[in-house]
Amino acid sequence: MKLLVPVKRVIDYNVKPRVKMDGTGVDLANVKMSMNPFDEIAVEEAIRLKEKGVATEIVAVSIGEAKAQETLRTALAMGADRAILVVAEGEVEPLAVAKILKAIVDEEQPGLVILGKQAIDDDSNQTGQMLAALTGRPQGTFASAVTVEGDSVKVTREVDGGLETVSLKAPAIVTTDLRLNEPRYASLPNIMKAKSKPLAQKTPADYGVDTSPRLKTLNVSEPPKRTAGVKVADVDELVAKLKALGVAA
């Protein structure tokens, strides 16, 4: 079984994003970038499936600026076999990403597509579901456990009420949640080996996809600062304040 793992280059999760002075977006100048944490979990899960003998090849894919090849090299150093970089300048919206991935899926015919449930920069949580709709493949989202037996893929999902297990028939789409696994660190020898692994470069035009934005960002701002709390002397005063705020009946 071939596995396809899309990954995205985002601001490192340890970095506090800064909003541009003109409010047009997030300032990316001189900011550390890294692989989206949910996608890193997806890469790790693909590697574990290969180690179990379930998968024969792992193909990492990234859609974005040319610098995204650094993210792909990280995936290759972790254990992916080859990579595809679709170079697209500017922001590429989830629907355009899903359309490009659909074309790659048609070309590569993977038995399983594993990707993060969302990217931490826009938190859209849309690409996996859109890809499943475009390809007509069954989907298991928010996976906290994945088991593959033949052409059956069991996915344990994290839902509001607890856990839900679904059975999918491969080929399928799976999106990963935080508790699925703990990604490994790429060793120095593997980082060196990753430099010689195949990395193909494409463009959206190669797949016949128009990446023109359909949405317009009107304004980006910092979240409002929380106001200071107040101390109350007793329960009666607390209830009185809650009633004044319309919280308590």
- Residue 204 is assigned to a structural domain of this protein: yes
User: Which phi and psi angles does 160 have, rounded to 5°?
Assistant: -60, -35
- Residue 74 is assigned to a structural domain of this protein: yes
- Residue 68 sits at the vertex; the CA angle it makes with 62 and 69, to the nearest 5 degrees, is 90
Which residue from 62, 101, 104, 58 is spatially nearest to 81, judged by alpha carbons?
Answer: 58
- CATH number of the domain bearing residue 143: 3.40.50.620
End-to-end CA separation in angstroms for the chain: 59
* Per-residue pLDDT tens digits of the chain, which is 249 residues long: 999 999 999 999 998 888 888 888 888 888 999 999 999 999 999 999 999 999 999 999 999 999 999 999 999 999 999 999 999 988 899 999 999 999 999 999 999 999 999 999 989 999 999 999 999 999 999 999 999 998 899 999 988 888 999 999 999 999 999 999 999 998 999 999 999 999 999 999 999 999 998 888 888 888 888 888 888 899 999 998 888 887 755
The whole domain housing 71 covers: 2-222
| CA–CA distance, 144 with 82 (Å, rounded to integer) | 26
Domain count, the chain: 1
- Residue 136 is assigned to a structural domain of this protein: yes
- Residue 211 is assigned to a structural domain of this protein: yes
DSSP 53-121: TS-SEEEEEEEESGGGHHHHHHHHHHT-SEEEEEE--S---HHHHHHHHHHHHHHH--SEEEEES--TT
- Residue 233 is assigned to a structural domain of this protein: no
| CA–CA distance, 224 with 190 (Å, rounded to integer) | 44
Confidence (pTM):
0.86
